Amino acid sequence: MTQSTSAASEKSRRKQQQRSIVTQQKLLEAALEAFSENGFKGTSTRDIAERAGVHHPLITYHFKNKDQLWQAAADKVFRDFRRSLAASLEQHQHECPKQRFASLIRAYVYYARSQPALHKVMVQEASYPNPRLDWLIETHLRPFFQATFELIEELQALGIAPPGNPRLLFNMIRLVSGGLLALGNELRQSSDIDTNDDKTLDDITDMIVAVFLPGEAKAPA
Amino acid sequence: MTQSTSAASEKSRRKQQQRSIVTQQKLLEAALEAFSENGFKGTSTRDIAERAGVHHPLITYHFKNKDQLWQAAADKVFRDFRRSLAASLEQHQHECPKQRFASLIRAYVYYARSQPALHKVMVQEASYPNPRLDWLIETHLRPFFQATFELIEELQALGIAPPGNPRLLFNMIRLVSGGLLALGNELRQSSDIDTNDDKTLDDITDMIVAVFLPGEAKAPA
DNA sequence: ACCAAGCTTTCCAAATTGGACCAAATTAAG
DNA sequence: CTTAATTTGGTCCAATTTGGAAAGCTTGGT
């Protein structure tokens, strides 16, 4: 993804310096923030550089151009996000299906708070057809969704999740899990809901579980 | 909101011409589309004028500036939206609470498809604090939410809606009701869900009701 | 010390921005 | 059918923003 990494081709190669990595990270986070606030079109590379506290030509240096930077930034969040969920699944692999999925939702909700850009960027790009949306779907959404559809189907077979189109059910769950956190600014003012409060996140998790997984879990042996 | 309407102050007043109304409507719809796709910052008045098929100085003439145009456009959707929901409530006022609310959800979902900008604009503006968000909340969200919170509380008291913070519950419902339709472009590609199909909308409605209003409705006398 | 990696500074040409201006046209009203 | 106000077309502008090039400086690996 980054220039330096892929530059290992000709003769002289020297390993990437630490400060370079730091700069890239700063740029990626700033890009994420900016893109999630103003969309791809509404964001200028200069704005990103400013947020990162970096001179704007460094974007060209590190990421070639705006598109590449967007992709690198999106890739970072979604990769992180999926890793985070996978970790939760593995960590709770010996618990009953309902508990496992509840933990997954919890992980989703907490990740969404730590990185609300996850959901915002998705909505931004989904607002009209464009190559970035296609990339996002093929690279991250489809693989992730596919695996989760099956989880949902299991839960339905066990009578834990309600019947109906599992894809629809899944999308509802992901929407509330990520969407509420993305609306943080609004909810505080419109509904007296403080998404910074851990208590709120737990309430959200509990409610999602109560609503979307109403079936009884098997009593633990 | 429009200039001509408020220009009734000095001496000579002549009623607004028909073509003027048409132009304003075209501009409002174009503005909505553009703002929902690219956000406020990412949208230029020229882009809006082009979508509307009118010369861009007409925006200045009819709406003074970009901010006023945004507000007029947002006001139009939200007013329409609330009117639509209010109509549903009134139309079903003699049905049982669960049926009434189910109809409300249905009205929400169908409106969200006819005007996905409703949800998109909300997410766009909520992505960072700004005066437009404040206006939106005070003018439309709070009044609408307040009334609906109470409906939810009733349903909870009747054991139809699950317990828990009614505000949280409400926001979940509105998120899935509006959000799925806003993600239309993505869902088709990522989940084989076609939000243009009426059948899908009915499935969505039914699932929301099944999930969020699991309690038994009183048998109709 | 050498030299590539990384960064700063400066500059530019092109495009876009919101908005001003005024003459032409359309139309409501008498 | 006049007439005057409304609405629109066409043009222009000054300011800002855009992505990117160029050239030289600093840092750090070897």
Is residue B84 within 8 Å of residue B146, measured between CB atoms? no
Is residue B172 within 8 Å of residue B212, measured between CB atoms? yes
How far is residue B126's CA from residue A184's CA, in Å, rounded to a whole number? 8
Is residue B111 within 8 Å of residue B195, measured between CB atoms? no
**Residues ≥6 apart with Cβ < 8 Å to B161:** B152, B155, B169, B212, B213, B215
Name the nearest CA neighbour of A217 among A102, A108, A104: A102
How far is residue A110's CA from residue A116's CA, in Å, rounded to a whole number? 10
Chain A residues within an 8 Å CB radius of B191? 145, 167-168, 170-171
Residue A3's pLDDT band (cuts 50, 70, 90): very low
More confident: B76 or A16? B76
Chain A residues within an 8 Å CB radius of B139? none
More confident: A87 or A220? A87
pLDDT of residue A221: 45
Name the nearest CA neighbour of B73 among B101, B90, B52: B52
Positions of strand D less than 7 angstroms from a protein CB: 4-11, 17-23, 27-30
Chain B residues within an 8 Å CB radius of A123? 120, 123, 179, 182-183
pLDDT of residue B25: 94
Task: Indicate the residue type of B60.
Answer: T
Question: Which residue of chain B has the CA closest to A186?
Answer: B126
Is residue A180 within 8 Å of residue B171, measured between CB atoms? yes
pLDDT of residue B19: 81
How far is residue A162's CA from residue A164's CA, in Å, rounded to a whole number? 7
Residue B146 touches chain A, beta carbons under 8 Å: no
* Start-end of H helices in chain A: 3-6, 18-38, 45-52, 57-63, 66-91, 97-114, 117-126, 131-136, 142-157, 166-182, 184-191, 198-212
pLDDT of residue B179: 96
pLDDT of residue B219: 53
CA distance B216 to chain A (A): 15
CB contact residues (below 8 A), chain B span 78-117, against chain A:
none
CB-count exposure of residue A158 (10 Å: 0-12, 13-18, 19+): middle
pLDDT of residue B117: 95
Per residue in B122-163, pLDDT (tens digit) is: 999 999 999 999 999 999 999 999 999 999 999 999 999 999
Question: In this model, does residue B23 exceed pLDDT 80?
Answer: yes
Average pLDDT, chain B: 90
pLDDT of residue B7: 35
Chain B residues within an 8 Å CB radius of A120? 123, 127
Question: Which residue of chain B has the CA closest to A176?
Answer: B172
A47 CB contact with strand D at below 7 Å: yes
Residue B133 touches chain A, beta carbons under 8 Å: yes
Chain B residues within an 8 Å CB radius of A165? 193, 203, 207
Q: What is the distance between the terminal CA atoms of chain A, rounded to a whole angstrom?
A: 47
Is residue B129 within 8 Å of residue A185, measured between CB atoms? yes
Name the nearest CA neighbour of A32 among A65, A78, A90: A78
CA distance B127 to chain A (A): 5
Per residue in A30-75, pLDDT (tens digit) is: 999 999 999 999 999 999 999 999 999 999 999 988 999 999 999 9
Per residue in A173-205, pLDDT (tens digit) is: 999 999 999 999 999 999 999 999 999 999 999
Identify which of B141, B180, B210 has the shortest CB distance to residue A164. Answer: B210
Task: Indicate the residue type of B44.
Answer: S
Q: What are phi and psi of A147, to 5 degrees?
A: -65, -35
Per residue in A121-175, pLDDT (tens digit) is: 999 999 999 999 999 999 999 999 999 999 999 999 999 999 999 999 999 999 9
Q: What is the dihedral of CA A88, A90, A91, A97, to 10 degrees?
A: 80
A62 CB contact with strand D at below 7 Å: no
Residue A121 touches chain B, beta carbons under 8 Å: no
* Start-end of H helices in B92-183: 97-114, 117-126, 131-136, 142-157, 166-182
Chain B residues within an 8 Å CB radius of A183? 122-123, 126, 171, 175
Residue A12's pLDDT band (cuts 50, 70, 90): low
Question: Which residue of chain B has the CA closest to A144?
Answer: B190
CB contact residues (below 8 A), chain A span 155-184, against chain B:
162, 164-165, 167-172, 175-176, 179-180, 182-184
Distance B220 CA to D26 C1' (A): 82
Nucleotide minimizing C1' to CA distance for residue A65? D19
Residue B134 touches chain A, beta carbons under 8 Å: yes
pLDDT of residue B121: 94
How far is residue B192's CA from residue B196's CA, in Å, rounded to a whole number? 12
pLDDT of residue A157: 96
CB-count exposure of residue B221 (10 Å: 0-12, 13-18, 19+): exposed
Nucleotide minimizing C1' to CA distance for residue B16? D6
Distance B67 CA to D16 C1' (A): 19
How far is residue A145's CA from residue A142's CA, in Å, rounded to a whole number? 5
Nucleotide minimizing C1' to CA distance for residue A13? C4
Residue A59 touches chain B, beta carbons under 8 Å: no
